[in-house]
Amino acid sequence: MILLDGKELAGKIKLEIAKEVAAMIDNGERVPHLAAVLVGEDPASQTYVASKEKNSKEVGITSSIYRYPESISERELLEVVDFLNLDNEIDGFIVQLPLPKHIDEQKIIERINPIKDIDGFHPVNLGRMMLGLPSLLPATPLGIMTLLERYQVETAGKHCVVLGRSHIVGTPVSILLSRKASPGNCTVTLCHSFTRDIPKITREADILIVAMGRQHFVTADMVKKGAVVVDVGMHRISDESKKSGFRLTGDVDFDKVAGKCSYITPVPGGVGPMTIVSLLQNTLKASKLTHPQTP
Ligand code: NAP
């Protein structure tokens, strides 16, 4: 079994990004700038945004956080998005989800200028992705594709089963893996809460991508010998032995499943770090779209 070590790979890609940013500075170009909009005090959102800021700084990308109270109105948040769309200093930005219930998330996402949409959630980016056109890809699916590509996992002709059909993970990754591209060219089965007999389907998977948000849903009896398993799930379990008071685990029962796999991602240290690094890659891409160099 080979561990798809997202932490190690993300470290390598960060060095590549840092070199690219340094070269941009040497050429007299401006430093890419990522912004994050954080609404409210949700601890997980605060952790994600802090990590995005830390990782940006490590590669030389400028980063800013725009913090607003839970009480911000939808109209005010739309104005923040308008401001960031127009601000020439900002190359790309994310609005950290989830938003408070009184704000329509889709409305906010659709207001973001697609070329600054480094989360890749705007319908223009998702539509272009579907058509195989250049676009900013959603960060977690991009991270999964990069992991498969860099570990040279063969995908062409394989049966890939995706558990979960969210707009941010399951659906886009199912489209990317079925595209006529490399990695891609898979035959994809997308499962959700209406799917009958999921274990029967997962046992036929050469590649199994799990993004359900159900702790340890995938057990050893659900996995074919030699399968590639990518676990997107992320759950905090309280653990007194940890300084933070919790540890992370995934949607796959790693200890029981790993022995049957050809490749598997750990949680933590698998898809999570790849998601962050994809956001940095998207920021670089957005900086080239928002500030194209004249030849
Ligand atoms: P989500 O929006 O809650 O979607 C979950 C999907 O799983 C839905 O399509 C749902 O089906 C399906 N599902 C849930 N329970 C099921 C069951 N018992 N049987 C069959 N299908 C079931 O979740 P998400 O945002 O995609 O996130 C999934 C997990 O990934 C979470 O643990 C999240 O924390 C984690 N995540 C991690 C990263 C990372 O960077 N590592 C990034 C994003 C998300 P229906 O559509 O029918 O409801």
22-54 residue pLDDT tens: 999 999 999 999 999 999 999 889 989 999 999
Cα 284 to middle of ligand 1, angstroms = 28
Q: For domain 139-272, which CATH number applies: 3.40.50.720, 3.40.50.2000, 1.20.1250.20, 3.40.50.300?
A: 3.40.50.720
The Cα 156–Cα 174 span in angstroms is: 14
Output the pLDDT for position 291: 83
In the reported structure, the alpha carbon of residue 174 is separated from the centroid of ligand 1 by a whole-number distance in angstroms of 13
Instruction: Tell me what pLDDT residue 21 has.
Output: 97
Ligand 1 binding pocket includes 122 (Cβ within 6 Å):
no
Residue 140 Cα to ligand 1 middle (Å)? 12
Q: How sure is the predictor about 174, in pLDDT bands with cuts at 50, 70 and 90?
A: very high
- pLDDT confidence of 290, banded at 50, 70, 90? confident
In this prediction, residues 190-204 reach a mean pLDDT of: 98
Concerning whether 119 is annotated as a catalytic residue, the answer is: yes
**Range of weakest confidence among 41-50, 74-83, 103-112, 212-221:** 41-50
Mean pLDDT of the chain: 96
Least confident stretch, 39-48, 133-142, 200-209: 39-48
Which residue from 137, 147, 166, 194 has its CB within 8 A of the most atoms of ligand 1, so it is best to mutate?
166
Q: Please check the confidence at residue 295 and state whether its pLDDT lies above 60.
A: no
* CB distance 170 to ligand 1 below 6 Å: yes
Q: What is the pLDDT of residues 139-151, one digit of tens each?
A: 999 999 999 999 9
281 assigned to active site:
no
Domain ranges of the chain: 27-116, 139-272
For helices 139-150 and 271-290, angle between their N-to-C axes, nearest 10 degrees? 110
The whole-angstrom separation of Cα 66 and Cα 86 is 15
For residue 60, the model assigns a pLDDT of: 97
Q: How confident is the model at residue 286 (pLDDT cuts 50, 70, 90)?
A: very high
3-state secondary structure the chain: CEECCHHHHHHHHHHHHHHHHHHHHHCCCCCCEEEEEEECCCHHHHHHHHHHHHHHHHHCCEEEEEEECCCCCHHHHHHHHHHHHHCCCCCEEEECCCCCCCCCHHHHHHHCCHHHECCCCCHHHHHHHHCCCCCCCCHHHHHHHHHHHHCCCCCCCCEEEEECCCCCCHHHHHHHHHCCCCCCCCEEEEECCCCCCHHHHHCCCCEEEECCCCCCCECHHHCCCCEEEEECCCEEEECCCCCCCEEEECCECHHHHHHHEEEECCCCCCHHHHHHHHHHHHHHHHHHHHCCCCC
The C-alpha atoms of residue 205 and residue 208 are separated, in whole angstroms, by 6
Q: Quick one: pLDDT at residue 294? A: 57
Binding site membership of 249 for ligand 1 (Cβ less than 6 Å): no
Mean pLDDT of 15-27: 97
Q: Is the CB of 6 under 6 A from ligand 1?
A: no
* pLDDT score at 75: 98
pLDDT in tens, 234-280: 999 999 999 888 899 999 999 999 999 999 999 999 999 999 999 99
Mean pLDDT of 57-77: 98
Enter the pTM of the model.
0.97
Q: Which pLDDT score is estimated for 63?
A: 97
Fold of domain 27-116: Rossmann fold (3.40.50)
Predicted local confidence at residue 292, as pLDDT? 82
Residue to mutate (ligand 1; options 234, 237, 246, 274; most atoms within 8 A of CB): 234
